[in-house]
Structures are given as structure tokens and as C-alpha cells.
Copies of this chain bind each other. A is one copy, B any other.
Amino acid sequence: MNIPDVEIPRIVIIGGGFGGVTLAQDLKNKNFQVVLLDKNNYHTFQPLLYQVATAGLEPDSIAYPLRKLFEDQPNLFFRWAEAKYIDTATNMVETNIGPLSYDYLVIASGSDTNFFGLNQLQKVSMTMKSVTEALDLRSCILQNFESALLTSDLEEQNSYMNFVIVGAGPTGVELAGALAELKNQILPGDYPDLDLRKMKINLVEAADKVLPPMSKQASEKAEIYLKKLGVNVWLNTAVEDYDGEVVKIKNGKSFKSKTLIWSAGVKGAIIEGLADDIVERGRLQVNEFNLVKNQTNIFAVGDVAFMKTEAYPKGHPMVAPVANQQAAHLAKNLVAIAQGKKTVPFKYFDKGSMATIGRNRAVVDLPRFRFQGTFAWFVWMFIHLISLVGFRNKIVTFFNWVYNYFVFEKGVRLIIRPYSRKK
């Protein structure tokens, strides 16, 4: 891998998501050699992937070149590589570009989509966990309308215009809202020969409310906002199977749809080599110092880490703030370890959660305060903008949002790489 051998300890970080980037940045000018591995050469701002999928933002606005992030950090080496296997006996990571030894290893590999064993559904459904998946979804949505235009079979036409989103967490809710805006404001102009009232957006959720982890107030308001936008919300509705044509529901109901978007679950992106008995709920068990169970020099942070505490008996939520906070905390602990000082257990500071529904509605749960509506939407927009990495991305995103807001436009309705429907 052509990383120079040096005297100081080498920390290998797997993953350039929120956790990996924060950790790497916080290790700047510390007495370590830091090697960051990611299967992409960019960091992805995942919370806005749904805007790429619905032609509201350019993919480049939410992806940031990792090398650029670390230009003035001489102790950091980035390698565009996918970690394949961890050999704990020899302290080596195997990757697609060769092996690499570590003194400390930090797994910050994030999460993968969890299909809960629905194999056929997995094969033919769309997901939205990466820039390429979001671009595939953008192509797929636009191609559906091109196909709907061409068929004289009305049932098939409806099926192309029928979208089923499974899972009403923030991703599902935000995607449903953005699709509804496409339906209400954009597509009628693009497809004057189609009756866009036939387009259906079905948001299907197994639980009894949308945004299950949020407050009752937020869930109720979000449902009202979704319905106002024309989204069909199906609660207490568990999807059983999908073959690319028909979505089967547990109670015997079904939808005819060419497009099922699965946002119903995630699981830790676990790398092979660690013992199976340390996996709980699809994540790696770590203690309050983010140390992986039964390991002495392997840590895990963020989505992939399962840290059970009194306050979080089911593990910490799989969201960006946990990854950021654990990473920042771990950076301090690693420095303490190297200096022979005492390490400090992690404590999560929950700043709240939020979701946006369409063009100017959002719901926000703060620890002591809840609000919904237009002001919440401005708060949502502000928080996401200041979190976007890099000045340039902020400006481009801001411009796109302002433009979309005032002219009701989604500028990037491009099918650059057509999506091939799987069978």
C-alpha cells in the first residue's frame, strides 16, 4: 500500500463517514501516523441523499473529496480502498489494494441496508445509502415516467407511476415528501401527455406512527404534512414480499408497483475476521471506551458500534451526531492511551432530532422543546447547511435550495447513467 513505516504508532481508520472523518481530523498534529481507508474517494453527506434521488441537488453538492479535507494534515495518509478482512492475530487489515498492519484499528464503516432476510425483495428493490444508489434512484424515477408514456396498457402505466416507500423513518418521510413535490410541481410540466394525478406515493410503515423514534407530536404533525402533500400513509403495515411487480403486505393486501424503495432498516457494516459472538443487533459490541469486545487495540464508532448503556439499553441511535461525538471522544482517549493517561467513558449528548416534509415543513424535537412547521423547516435547512462539509458545497447547495424554493424547480432531472431494472 506504500505507506511509509515510521516509529510512531499507526492508527488505521476504516471508513470516511462522519465518524472516520471527525476522528482523522481530531488526530491532526498528534503523535500518530493515521491511515484512512474508504471505498469511495469522497465523504458522503448521507442526510441529503434523498435530494439527489429526487433531482433537487447535484450529487457533487453532498460529496466532498476526502483528499481535499486532509490537505494540510501531514500525518494522514488516505487510501482509496475497501477493507475486506481483519486479522486480529497479526494486527493486519486485508484490503483490495493489499494488506496493512496497524497498532490501533478503528472501525467506522457505518451501516448497510438491512432487508431482514427478504431476499427476493432485496434483489429487485431500490435503496438510498450511497451517491450511486441515489443516482440510480433518480434515473429509475425519471425512466418510470418515460416508460409510462410509452405504454397503452393502463394497468402497467399505473404501476410505473406507483411508488412504494417502505419504512417511515426520517429517510422514508423525507423521500416521500420530495417525491410528492416532484408530483405536484415538476412532473406535470415535464409530462403534459400523462395524467399525473395517477402518480401515487405510498409510505408503508410497520409501526403505528411515522418517524417512530420521534415524539408523538412530531409524528402526528409529520403525518398531517405528508397527507396534505398527497402521500398515502399506511401504518401498521408490514411488507412481506416483492417480486418487482407486486408488493405483498402481511394482512393480505397488495400494491402493484414497479418501484419499491426500501428504507426500513439498517445494520452495521461489519468487516469479516472478528468473532461472530461480538455482534449484537447487527453491530459490533463495544464498551464505553468504544473498545470492541475481547479486543485490546480495535475500536468501533458510529453506526457499526453497539454501545449499551443505562440510558441506551438497545444501543445508541444510528445517526450522525453519535458517530461524530464518539469519534471526537475516541481521539482524546487514543491520545491518553499513548501518553499512558487514564481514558474517559463516552457519554452521548442528545441535541435532538428533526425531519423535513416537502418544501417548507419540518418537525423538530429538541431535548426540552418541540416545534413543527415553517420555522422548523428553516432550522432544519440551517442545521444541514452548516453541517455540510466545505464552503463550496454549502454555497452550491444553498443556491439550489433558494432557487428551488422560489421557482418550484428541480433542476437536475437528468438520466446520466440509465438504471437497469433488476429481475
Q: Which residues in B have their C-beta under 8 angstroms from that of A132? A: 416-417
Q: A58-B60, A416-B59 are in contact. Are A193 and B67 (CB under 8 A)?
A: no
**Beyond A41-B413, A80-B146, is A190–B403 a contact (Cβ under 8 Å)?**
no
Q: Is A375 an interface residue (CB 8 A)?
A: no
Which residues 154-209 in A have Cβ within 8 Å of B in the complex? 189-193
Q: Which residues of B contact A190 (CB under 8 A)?
A: 65, 67-68, 71
In the complex, A420 has a CB within 8 A of chain B: no
* Contact call B60/A411, Cβ cutoff below 8 A: yes
Residues of B near A245 (CB, < 8 A) are none
CA distance in complex: A416, B1 (Å): 22
21 A-B interface contacts by CB (under 8 A): A40-B414, A42-B413, A58-B59, A58-B61, A58-B396, A59-B414, A60-B60, A60-B411, A63-B414, A65-B413, A67-B189, A68-B190, A80-B146, A98-B150, A392-B400, A392-B411, A393-B411, A396-B399, A396-B400, A399-B399, A417-B417
**Contact A416:B63 (CB < 8 A) given known A71-B189, A190-B68:** yes
Additional A-B contact list (18), CB under 8 Å, known A58-B396, A392-B403: A1-B150, A2-B193, A41-B146, A41-B414, A42-B414, A58-B59, A60-B412, A67-B413, A68-B189, A71-B190, A77-B193, A79-B149, A80-B415, A131-B414, A131-B416, A392-B409, A396-B400, A399-B399
Picked from B97, B395, B415, the residue with its CB within 8 Å of the CB of A399 is: B395
Q: How far is the CB of A381 from chain B (nearest CB, A)?
A: 18
Task: Decide if A74 is an interface residue (CB 8 Å cutoff).
Answer: yes
| Contact indicator A60/B414 (Cβ below 8 Å) | yes
Contact with B along A384-423 (1 / 0, CB 8 A): 0000001011011001100100000101111111000000
User: Is A152 on the interface with B (CB-CB < 8 A)?
Assistant: yes
- Report the minimum CB–CB distance from A273 to chain B (whole Å): 22
Q: How many copies does the complex hold?
A: 2
Would B2 and A150 count as touching, CB distance under 8 A?
yes
Query: Is the C-beta of A135 less than 8 angstroms from some C-beta in chain B?
Result: yes
Q: Is A246 an interface residue (CB 8 A)?
A: no
A274 interface residue, CB < 8 Å from B? Answer: no
A142 at the interface (CB under 8 A from B): yes
Closest to A59 in B: B416
Residues of B within 8 A of A411 (CB): 60, 65, 390, 392-393
A63 — which chain B residues lie within 8 A by C-beta?
414, 416
A61 to B191, CA, bound (A): 23
Which B residues touch A40, using CB under 8 A?
414-415
Complex CA–CA separation, A390 to B403 (angstroms): 12
Distance to closest chain B CB from A103 (angstroms): 20
Measured CB to CB, the nearest residue on chain B to A415 is B41
Q: Which 3 A-B pairs have the closest CB atoms?
A: A67-B190, A65-B413, A71-B189
A415 to B135, CA, bound (A): 14
Q: A129 → chain B, closest Cβ, in Å?
A: 14
Name which of A67, A98, A150 has the most chain B CB atoms within 10 A of its CB. Answer: A67
- A400 and B392 CA atoms in complex are apart in Å by 8
A191 touches B413 (CB 8 A): no
> In whole angstroms, how far apart are the Cα atoms of A417 and B132 in the complex?
7
Which residue of B97, B189, B191, B193 is within 8 Å of A150 (Cβ)?
Answer: B97
The verdict on A2 contacting B412 (CB below 8 Å), with A68-B190, A190-B71 known, is no
Q: Which of A59-113 contact B (CB under 8 A)?
A: 59-61, 63, 65, 67-68, 71, 74, 77, 79-80, 97-98
CB proximity of A8 to chain B, nearest CB, Å? 17
- Bits for A28-53, please: 1 = Cβ < 8 Å to B, else 0: 00000000000011100000000000
By the criterion CB–CB under 8 Å, are A413 and B68 in contact? yes
A158, chain B: closest CB distance, angstroms: 15
What chain B residues lie within 8 Å of A189 (beta carbons)?
A: 67-68, 71
Can you name the residue of chain B whose Cβ is closest to the Cβ of A73?
B192
* Residues of chain B lying within 8 A (CB to CB) of residue A151: 2
